[in-house]
Homo-oligomer: A and B are copies of this chain.
Amino acid sequence: MPDYQAEWKRFRQALNEVYDLRAAIALLQWDQEVFMPPKGALARGCQLATLSALAHRAFTAPEWGERLDKLAGADHAISTDERLLIAETRHDYLRATRLPESFVHAFAAAQSAAYEAWAHARAQSDFAAFRPHLETMVELARQKADYLGYEGSPYDALLEEYERGMTVAQLRPLLADLAAAQGALAGRIAANNPQPDAGWLEQEWNEEAQWKLTCRVLRDMGFDFSAGRQDRSLHPFTTNFDLCDVRITTRTNPRELFSALTGSMHEGGHALYEQGFLENDRRTTLAEGISLGIHESQSRMWENIIGKSLPFWKRYAPIVRQAFPGQLDAVTPEQFYAAINRVQPSLIRVEADECTYNLHIVLRFEIEVALIEGDLAVADVPGAWNEKMRRYLGIDVPDDARGCLQDIHWAHGSMGYFPTYALGNLYAAQLFEAMSRDLPELWSFVEAGDFGPLREWLRIRVHQVGRRKTAVALLQDVTGQPPSAGPFLAYLTRKYESLYGS
């Protein structure tokens, strides 16, 4: 190519503009869930539809194909980063061009309408009000799979969006194995062991004190409040408009001592990942998480492996006691640790313990695959949900608000997303095992509330990598192994045997 530098500059500029548009879309969505007044929904749907179509158009214009082909085939000496940026952008471009603009437009509008309907339906526990919207989202997801193409199941095409290379054929046995091992562990605990005494949890917990506690822990984790913020929303989430503007949300519940804290640590783990991208990658394809599984490994490591450890509670027991004066005076770190790790099959996924969490995922995965493969009608979702809750968790679902309406994902049309939560658990344990080898004093750092060494380890090996490696390559490089369920099951067994002696 005669003028590689000029072509490269045009490419960067065009790519930056696409990312600026995507940031505006992310802000429209964030505001919709955090601050928008209810009557604003109609116009917001139009705005999201228009901007989504524009962003799609800006990234699928025919000159992109030529431009990327030219850059990829250049005989000019290209740095590794340039080569990677071109390759990753090309991957996204090829995928994006498979979706017609009219489809992207319709999808965004349906998403917006479904979100409003879901929020309302959940509040009223009224599945019938959400049903037509879910039918639309399933139909659109199937169309999307057809546009994207697949070999095995249409669900594979949807999975690819969140976890490149993952398939139903790989996931089905993996999740079945996890379900069997975790179901057996939960069964042993239930059969052989009394629950720890946690009657002291049955109190009212001041929501403002909960909020302040989440901010304190986020600050300790290293979340940079000058490059991000925390707000409240119905369903906690993380988004960013830049590596220096990362927004997380949480929710407080006066009946729950731990849920705001664990929710904030979860989103805080996501946020540290996004604040940790390289400045040079800003407004490009490389300043993104590798896959949702890797993203989730960061949130779950902070929420569960660190936040539900005994050393963490040795540090934070006095701080939490101080946050709720007179309510926890006699509670020891060991009691906090035992209480936060109680195994109790429950209705709500986001509040499930680590022992039963993946069972919630198996249930959702099976329903999603059946919906997408056409083996289940939307009208039958509540029935299927309730039947599987009995089978996997042994509990009855009292209403759809605490059943199939509890999650936001289907309203967003995010079919194929849930399995990445289970993968996140596996990846987190595998990465943490490697970190423990590199930092033998890791638990003393946690007990001292000094998370710097852990964060830096993650920053260098995971965060700053951005999209430079696949999930499989990252895990291989950092842990010396391909993705595996071993470390996670070993971690779970170790934790619960020490807690329940089973």
Contacts and interface: CB of A to CB of B under 8 A. Distances in A.
A244 B46 CA distance: 13
Interface stretch (A20-28, A131-139, A191-199, A380-388): A20-28
Interface stretch (A62-70, A220-228, A357-365, A403-411): A220-228
A21 B51 contact: yes
A42 interface: yes
A282 interface: yes
A318 to B, nearest CB: 30
A37 B229 CA distance: 7
Which of A54, A245, A283 is packed against the most chain B CB atoms within 10 Å? A245
A47 B241 contact: yes
Contact of A245 (B23, B39, B241): B39
A242 interface: yes
A245 B50 contact: no
Which of A40, A44, A228 is packed against the most chain B CB atoms within 10 Å? A40
Nearest to A47: B20
A227 B41 CA distance: 9
A17 interface: yes
Contacts of A27: 24, 27-28, 31
Given A23-B47, A50-B20, A244 B37 contact: yes
B43 A245 contact: yes
A152 interface: no
Q: Report the contact-size class of chain A (Cβ under 8 Å from the partner).
A: 35 or more
Interface string A308-348: 00000000000000000000000000000000000000000
Nearest to A36: B245
A233 interface: no
A20 to B, nearest CB: 4
A398 interface: no
B37 A23 contact: no
A50 B20 CA distance: 7
Contact of A241 (B17, B21, B40, B54): B40
Contact of A242 (B17, B42, B231): B42
Given A43-B23, A226-B38, A17 B50 contact: yes
A20 B228 CA distance: 26
A241 B32 CA distance: 12
Given A37-B225, A40-B227, A241-B44, A24 B17 contact: no
Given A21-B50, A23-B47, A28-B24, A244 B16 contact: no
A20 B37 contact: no
Nearest to A50: B20
B16 A50 contact: yes
B39 A227 contact: yes
A43 B226 contact: no
A153 to B, nearest CB: 36
Contacts of A31: 27, 31
A282 B43 contact: yes
A244 B21 contact: no
Contact of A43 (B42, B47, B228, B241): B241
A222 to B, nearest CB: 14
Contacts of A225: 37
A322 to B, nearest CB: 24
A125 B2 CA distance: 52
Nearest to A38: B226
A39 B227 CA distance: 5
A21 B47 CA distance: 7
A37 B228 contact: yes
Given A47-B20, A50-B17, A37 B241 contact: no
Nearest to A53: B17
A231 B36 CA distance: 12
Interface string A244-255: 110000000000
Contacts of A36: 245
A455 to B, nearest CB: 17
A189 to B, nearest CB: 43
Interface in A48-100: 49-51, 54
12 contacts: A20-B50, A20-B51, A23-B47, A39-B227, A40-B242, A40-B245, A42-B242, A43-B245, A43-B282, A44-B242, A44-B245, A46-B283
Given A31-B31, A39-B226, A40-B245, 10 more contacts: A16-B50, A21-B51, A36-B245, A37-B228, A40-B227, A42-B244, A43-B242, A43-B245, A46-B283, A47-B241
